[in-house]
Amino acid sequence: MNDTALLLTVEETSVLLSLGRTKVYELIATGDLATVRIGRSRRIPRQAVERYVSSLIEKAAILPI
């Protein structure tokens, strides 16, 4: 995977997040992970992945231990 790529495939995103492809598709379907279309291809902007991880960290910080 190219560490500087701005747009990622579902497979690349699943590797980056250490999740399965099915889970990445679920995150896309629920709107938790934004995508863009280029022709018939769907790609995930790297910024969308970073926002998703940031939101997880924020949620974890407000949960009581």
Q: What is the pLDDT of residues 21-54, one digit of tens each?
A: 999 999 999 999 999 999 999 999 999 999 999 9
What pTM value is reported for the model?
A: 0.85
Indicate whether 36 belongs to any domain. yes
Inform me whether the pLDDT recorded for 2 exceeds 80.
no
Indicate whether 27 belongs to any domain. yes
Q: What is the DSSP string of 17-57?
A: HT--HHHHHHHHHTTSS--EEETTEEEEEHHHHHHHHHHHH
CB 43 within 8 A of CB 36: yes
Residue range(s) defining the domain that contains residue 14: 7-62
Model confidence band, residue 55 (pLDDT cutoffs 50, 70, 90): very high
Structural domains in the chain (count):
1
The 8-class DSSP code of residue 14 comes to H
Q: How many Å apart are CA 49 and CA 28, to the nearest integer? A: 11
